[in-house]
Amino acid sequence: MAEAAARAGGMRQAAVSRVGDPWLLTCALALVGIGLIMVYSAGSALAAKRYLDGAYFFKAQLVHAGVGLAVMALLASLDYRRLERLAYPLLLGVLLMLLLVLVPGVGHQAGGAVRWLHLGPLSMQPAEFAKLALVVYLAYSLSRHYQQIKSFSRGLLPHVGVAAVLILPVLAEPDLGMSVILFALAMIMLFVAGARWTYLLGMLAAAAPLVYLLVVAYPYRFKRVVAFLNPWDDAGGAGFQIIHSFLALGSGGLTGAGLGASKQKLFYLPEPHTDFIFSVLAEELGLWGVLLVLGLFMLLIVRGIKIALEARELFGTYLALGATLIIGLQAFINAGVVMGLLPTKGLTLPFISYGGSSLVVNFACVGMLLAVAAGQRRRA
């Protein structure tokens, strides 16, 4: 009996080692499951009008999820230290795609911005992959040069310079929201690595006037900021989207109107299956649904931070931290926008919103986290 119990315990331990972190995996799968349901519900009316197929977005997102799961499984099965040698190739490949987006006739324009590349039947948003490239590069470089991190010229400037090289073409698309995410990723990872806080504050102070100019230079951005401060001053214009987001949030109540019963998705909320899908979720599933989704994100972030803290190598620590930040930052910025706590930025909700590039990148982050967790268990 004791021998059988020992064998069973060993098999369980081996299974956990292969998975890396079952709680993290469960959170990711639960979120993408909720996302598929909400993409179908929130986007069915728009899909029927635009494509004459109410399930169009759902079927496309199902394909995206399949690709994402394959990427996650591949990364989770690898020794994460192999990613070190991909830091520069990945960086250069993503930079090339970002530049191709800006070439007339190559990049695809939608909604006034050029952010997509069409490769035959495939469409991708390189800015999403810029987050991944930046995190892998920073994890590699910070772990290699940790002794020089206090230096401005060797510890801070090269890393900020690489981040700027990715941010500039993203700004040119234009995509200020994604640029802010990339900048925040770099600043937080540098702070955790031990960069002098005075240098980081200086970088923030230098970036603030640039952000101000970028907001003022584009009237639609300025209108979004004004609408954030008082959306009812322009209820039929810049404030329209956030006001209807409030109506969705408020009408959901405790238990929601019921799955599929949202009124705001019926051409009140523009693109309800992407940036403001959280509003539709709140209207249909109520406060309990909102708390469930936020709770899953919180648990995923906690598990990600735990994996980062327990990693036995600096590269694993920074890689896990960056992967967690990619998901966590965007999740809570999106939730903040939907709830009127932040100006509208055009950022999707990880795992929930429709979008192939975003979903694949999020699954890649989970795959890297699982690989770091599995690696530390194997060496325990």
Strand partners, 105: none
The total of structural domains in the chain comes to 1
Q: Pick the closest to residue 320 from 214, 229, 207, 192 (CA basis).
A: 192
Phi, psi of 341 (to 5 degrees): -90, -15
Does 321 have pLDDT greater than 90?
yes
Which pLDDT band, with edges at 50, 70 and 90, does 110 fall under? confident
Q: Which of 159, 157, 158, 179 is nearest to 168 (CA)?
A: 179
Residues 6+ apart with CB under 8 A from 54: 44, 45, 47, 48
Residue 185 near residue 162 (C-beta atoms within 8 A): no
pLDDT in tens, 52-78: 999 999 999 999 999 999 999 999 999
337-348 pLDDT, tens digit per residue, is 999 999 888 789
Give the pLDDT confidence score for residue 270 in this predicted structure.
Answer: 84
Determine the Cα–Cα distance for residues 12 and 73; give it in Å rounded to an integer: 19
pLDDT digits (tens, 9 = 90+) for 254-312: 999 999 999 999 988 888 999 999 999 999 999 999 999 999 999 999 999 999 999 98
Counting Cα atoms < 13 Å in the Cβ hemisphere of 341 gives 6
- Say which residue the tokens 């929130």 belong to: 42
Radius of gyration of the chain (CA): 21
The SS3 of residue 355 is coil
- Residue 48: domain span: 2-378
**4-32 pLDDT, tens per residue?**
444 544 444 444 456 679 999 999 999 99
With beta carbons less than 8 A apart as the criterion, state whether 314 and 146 touch. yes
**Type of residue at 160:** V
Give the pTM. 0.92
- The tokens describing 174, both together, are 């234009």
At 103, give phi and psi (nearest 5°): -75, 125
- pLDDT for 15 equals 43
Query: How high is the pLDDT of residue 377?
Result: 60
- Residues 306, 303: Cα–Cα separation, whole Å: 5
Mean pLDDT along residues 330-335: 95
